[in-house]
C-alpha cells in the first residue's frame, strides 16, 4: 500500500525563456516565499560539486528517506497478509487498493498546489503524521482482535490522503537541498535505496509477521515514519549558517541580483491549472510525460499477466520469479550506474529508451523465448529505463520553474494514478480476448507509435529551445 516513489518529473532552476503569469504583486509575494525557503536549504560554494553526502541537509534527508523506503517495502506484503486474515472472500486487497488509489487520485492535484504554496518540509511532516495515524488504526484493531476489512479500507484511504500531499512536496524538495552539480548523483542514490527497500521489504515483512503477527510489522512501519519525521524536523531546523544565503546580492552559488530577478519573473501563481498551462512551454517534459502513460499501462499489464503466462506457457511460476529477480537486479544496477552517466541530450535518450527498449521487452516476452534470453532482456530494460528516469529527473530539475515544481509532479502522479489501475483492470480481459502474445504485441506497437509521434512534435521545438539557450549562454559569456 505504501508508496513514496519519486516522480520522474521534478523541477528547480529556471529556463532562459521564462513563462510569465499573473501580476507583479503575485510575483513579489511568491518570490519572497520561495526565495526564503530556498535560502534555508541550498548549500555553500565549498560543497557545490562532488558527492551530495558532503551536504548535511542531504544526509538528513537521505537518512529519513532510506528508513521510509524500508517501510515502503514491507507494507504491501503486510497488508496482503492482513487482508487474508480478515476476509476469505478475496475482496480484501481490491478494497484496500481502491481506497488507497481513490483518495490519492482525488487529492494529488490539491497536494501539488499546497506543496508549491507552502513550505515543502512542513507539508511532508504533516503528510507523514497523517500516514502514521493511518497505520495506528489497524495496529490497534489487530492488537485487540477486532480487525475487520473496514479497518484496512479506512487505513488505506487515510494513507492515500497523506501520500497525495507527501509525493508532490518531496518532488519539489530535492533541488532545494542539493546544488545542480550534485542532483544526478543524489537522484541516483535515492533511487538505489528505494529499489533496495522494495527488494528487501517483502522478506522482512514475512519475518516480522511470522515472529510477532501483523501488528508487529505495522509497528515497524510506524517506527520508520517516526524516524522520517524526526529527520525532516531536524532538516527544517538546520542552522542557516550551514546553508547558502541567497540574497539579492551575488550569493555563494554565483547567482547575481539579475539572475534572482529572472527567477522572480518566472514564478508561477498558485493553481493546478496554471501548472497545466506551463507544460507546453517545456516540450521535453510534456511529451515524455505523455509517452510514459502507455509505458505505465504496459508495466501494470505485465505485472498481472506475467505470472499467468509463466504458469501456462513458460514452464511454471518459478519462471516468473526468475524474471522478477532480473528486473530487480537491473533496477539496482541502473540506479547505481545513473550516478556516473553523462549525457548531453537526456530528452533524446529517454525517448529512445521508452520507444524502443520497452516494446522489445514486450515482444520478447510475448514470443516466449528461453529463460536466459528473457532474463537478459528484462535486466537490460530495467537498467536502461532506470538510468533514463534518473537522467530525466535531473533534466527537469534544471528546467521547470521551482514555483510550479510540485504541481508538475502532481500532474505526472495523476496520470500514473489513472493508467496503472486501468492497466490492472483491463489486461486480463484483453489478453483473454486477443490472446496474451497478441495483447503484448499490441502494447509494444502502441508505445512505439506514441514515441514516434512524440519525436515528431518534440524535436523541432526542442532544437529551437536548445539553440536559444546556447545563444543566451554565449551572450552571457561575452558580457563577462
* Strand, coil or helix: 15: coil
Residues 183 and 205 in one domain: yes
pLDDT value of position 223:
95
Length of the chain: 480
Q: Rounded to whole angstroms, what are the CA distances from 255 to 47, 261, 293?
A: 16, 10, 37
**HSE-CB for 432 with a 13 A CA cutoff:** 6
| Banded pLDDT at 342 (limits 50, 70, 90) | confident
Residues 203 and 297 in one domain: no
Question: Percent of the chain at pLDDT above 90?
Answer: 35
Residues 116 and 215 in one domain: yes
* Sign of the dihedral defined by the CA atoms of residues 5, 380, 437, 324, in that order: negative
The per-residue pLDDT for range 92-144, each reduced to its tens digit, is: 777 888 888 888 888 988 888 898 888 899 999 999 999 999 999 999 999 99
| Banded pLDDT at 385 (limits 50, 70, 90) | very high
pLDDT value of position 397:
80
Looking at 225, 240, 269, the residue that finishes a domain is 269
| Banded pLDDT at 29 (limits 50, 70, 90) | very low
Residues 333 and 201 in one domain: no
Compute the average pLDDT of residues 76-81.
86
pLDDT value of position 467:
54
Residues 251 and 388 in one domain: no
Compute the average pLDDT of residues 80-99.
80
CATH number of the domain to which 81 belongs: 1.20.1250.20
Residues 188 and 211 in one domain: yes
pLDDT value of position 434:
92
Compute the average pLDDT of residues 367-388.
91
C-alpha cell read off for 99: 481506497
pLDDT value of position 253:
40
Query: Please, what is the Cα angle at 292 between 291 and 293, to 5 degrees?
Result: 90
Spatial neighbors of 380 by CB under 8 A, at least 6 apart, are 330, 357
More confident residue, 298 or 246: 298
pLDDT at 9 over 50: no
Do 124 and 169 contact (CB within 8 A), yes or no? Answer: yes
Residue 441 belongs to what domain range? 283-398+435-480
In a domain, 127, yes or no: yes
pLDDT value of position 382:
92
C-alpha cell read off for 28: 513579489
Query: How does DSSP classify residue 14?
Result: P
pLDDT value of position 464:
56
pLDDT value of position 317:
73
Residues 203 and 337 in one domain: no
Spatial neighbors of 166 by CB under 8 A, at least 6 apart, are 4, 111, 123, 124, 127, 128, 131
- When computed from its CA atoms, the radius of gyration of the chain, rounded to whole angstroms, is 23
Q: How far apart are CA 199 and CA 219, in angstroms?
A: 20
pLDDT at 472 over 70: no
pLDDT value of position 72:
83
The per-residue pLDDT for range 224-279, each reduced to its tens digit, is: 999 999 999 998 886 544 443 323 333 344 333 333 334 444 566 666 677 777 88
pLDDT at 294 over 70: yes
Query: Please, what is the Cα angle at 269 between 263 and 271, to 5 degrees?
Result: 140
DSSP symbols for 35-62? HHHHHHHPPPGGGSSS-GGGSHHHHHHH
In a domain, 29, yes or no: yes
The per-residue pLDDT for range 416-450, each reduced to its tens digit, is: 878 888 888 888 889 989 999 999 999 999 999 99
pLDDT at 13 over 50: no
Residues 233 and 307 in one domain: no
* Strand, coil or helix: 12: strand
Average pLDDT of the chain, as a whole number? 79
In a domain, 331, yes or no: yes
| Banded pLDDT at 336 (limits 50, 70, 90) | very high
In a domain, 307, yes or no: yes
Q: Where are the beta strands (DSSP E) in 98-211?
A: none
Residues 249 and 380 in one domain: no
pLDDT value of position 31:
36
Alpha helices in 353-370 (DSSP H): 358-367
Looking at 222, 247, 269, the residue that finishes a domain is 269
Q: How far apart are CA 398 and CA 269, in angstroms?
A: 19
Residues 181 and 203 in one domain: yes
**HSE-CB for 283 with a 13 A CA cutoff:** 16
Compute the average pLDDT of residues 341-348.
87
C-alpha cell read off for 206: 514475512
* Strand, coil or helix: 401: strand
- Least-confidence region, from 78-82, 191-195, 459-463: 459-463
- Least-confidence region, from 170-174, 247-251, 300-304, 372-376: 247-251
In a domain, 359, yes or no: yes
Burial 398-433 (b: 16+ CB within 10 A, else e): bbbbbbbbbbbbbbbbbbbbebbbebbebbeebbee
pLDDT value of position 459:
76
pLDDT at 281 over 90: no
| Banded pLDDT at 90 (limits 50, 70, 90) | low
Do 408 and 107 contact (CB within 8 A), yes or no? Answer: no
In a domain, 470, yes or no: yes
More confident residue, 298 or 244: 298
pLDDT value of position 414:
82
- Least-confidence region, from 74-88, 117-131, 193-207, 461-475: 461-475
Looking at 236, 269, 302, the residue that finishes a domain is 269
Residues 237 and 176 in one domain: yes
pLDDT value of position 157:
93
DSSP symbols for 110-153? HHHHHHHHS-HHHHHHHHHHHHHHHHHHHHHHHHTT---HHHHH
In a domain, 261, yes or no: yes
The per-residue pLDDT for range 147-171, each reduced to its tens digit, is: 998 999 999 999 999 999 998 898 8
Number of domains in the chain: 2
pLDDT value of position 407:
85
pLDDT value of position 39:
38
Residues 111 and 173 in one domain: yes
pLDDT value of position 468:
55
pLDDT value of position 30:
36
Spatial neighbors of 311 by CB under 8 A, at least 6 apart, are 317, 320
In a domain, 429, yes or no: no
Amino acid at each position: 500500500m505504501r508508496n513514496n516513489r519519486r516522480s520522474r518529473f521534478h523541477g528547480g532552476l529556471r529556463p532562459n525563456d521564462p513563462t510569465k503569469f499573473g501580476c507583479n504583486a503575485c510575483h513579489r509575494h511568491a518570490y519572497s516565499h520561495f526565495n526564503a525557503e530556498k535560502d534555508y536549504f541550498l548549500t555553500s560554494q565549498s560543497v557545490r560539486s562532488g558527492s551530495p553526502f558532503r551536504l548535511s541537509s542531504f544526509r538528513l534527508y537521505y537518512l529519513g528517506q532510506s528508513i521510509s523506503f524500508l517501510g515502503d517495502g514491507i507494507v504491501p506484503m503486510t497488508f496482503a497478509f492482513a487482508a487474508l486474515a480478515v476476509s476469505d472472500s478475496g475482496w480484501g486487497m481490491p478494497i484496500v487498493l481502491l481506497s488507497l488509489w481513490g483518495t490519492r487520485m482525488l487529492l494529488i492535484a490539491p497536494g501539488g498546489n499546497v506543496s508549491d504554496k507552502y513550505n515543502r518540509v512542513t507539508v511532508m511532516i504533516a503528510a507523514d503524521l497523517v500516514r502514521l495515524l493511518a497505520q495506528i488504526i489497524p495496529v490497534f484493531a489487530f492488537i485487540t482482535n477486532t480487525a475487520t476489512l473496514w479497518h484496512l479500507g479506512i487505513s488505506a484511504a487515510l494513507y492515500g490522503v497523506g501520500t497525495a500531499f507527501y509525493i508532490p512536496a518531496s518532488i519539489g524538495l530535492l533541488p532545494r537541498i542539493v546544488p545542480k552539480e550534485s542532483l544526478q548523483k543524489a537522484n541516483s542514490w535515492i533511487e538505489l535505496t528505494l529499489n533496495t527497500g522494495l527488494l528487501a521489504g517483502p522478506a522482512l515483512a514475512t519475518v516480522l509477521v511470522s515472529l510477532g503477527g501483523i501488528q508487529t510489522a505495522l509497528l515497524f512501519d510506524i517506527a520508520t515514519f517516526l524516524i522520517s519525521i524526526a529527520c525532516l524536523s531536524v532538516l527544517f531546523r538546520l542552522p542557516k549558517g550551514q546553508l547558502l544565503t541567497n540574497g539579492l546580492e551575488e550569493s555563494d552559488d554565483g547567482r547575481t541580483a539579475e539572475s534572482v530577478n529572472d527567477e522572480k519573473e518566472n514564478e508561477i501563481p498558485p493553481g493546478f491549472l496554471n501548472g497545466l498551462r506551463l507544460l507546453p512551454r517545456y516540450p521535453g517534459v510534456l511529451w515524455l510525460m505523455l509517452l510514459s502513460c502507455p509505458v505505465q499501462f504496459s508495466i501494470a499489464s505485465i505485472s498481472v499477466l506475467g505470472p499467468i503466462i509463466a504458469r501456462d506457457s513458460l514452464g511454471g511460476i518459478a519462471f516468473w520469479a526468475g524474471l522478477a529477480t532480473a528486473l530487480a537486479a537491473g533496477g539496482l544496477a541502473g540506479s547505481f550506474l545513473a550516478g556516473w552517466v553523462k549525457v548531453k541530450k537526456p530528452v533524446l535518450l529517454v525517448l529512445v529508451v521508452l520507444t524502443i527498449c520497452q516494446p522489445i521487452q514486450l515482444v520478447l516476452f510475448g514470443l516466449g523465448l528461453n529463460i536466459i534470453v528473457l532474463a537478459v532482456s528484462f535486466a537490460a530494460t530495467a537498467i536502461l529505463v532506470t538510468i533514463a528516469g534518473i537522467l530525466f529527473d535531473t533534466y527537469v530539475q534544471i528546467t521547470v520553474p521551482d514555483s510550479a515544481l510540485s504541481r508538475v509532479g502532481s500532474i505526472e502522479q495523476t496520470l500514473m494514478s489513472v493508467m496503472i489501475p486501468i492497466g490492472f483492470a483491463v489486461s486480463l480481459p484483453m489478453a483473454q480476448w486477443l490472446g496474451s502474445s497478441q495483447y503484448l504485441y499490441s502494447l509494444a506497437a502502441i508505445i512505439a507509435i506514441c514515441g514516434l509521434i512524440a519525436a515528431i512534435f518534440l524535436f523541432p521545438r526542442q532544437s529551437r529551445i536548445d539553440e536559444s539557450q546556447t545563444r543566451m549562454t554565449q551572450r552571457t559569456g561575452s558580457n563577462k
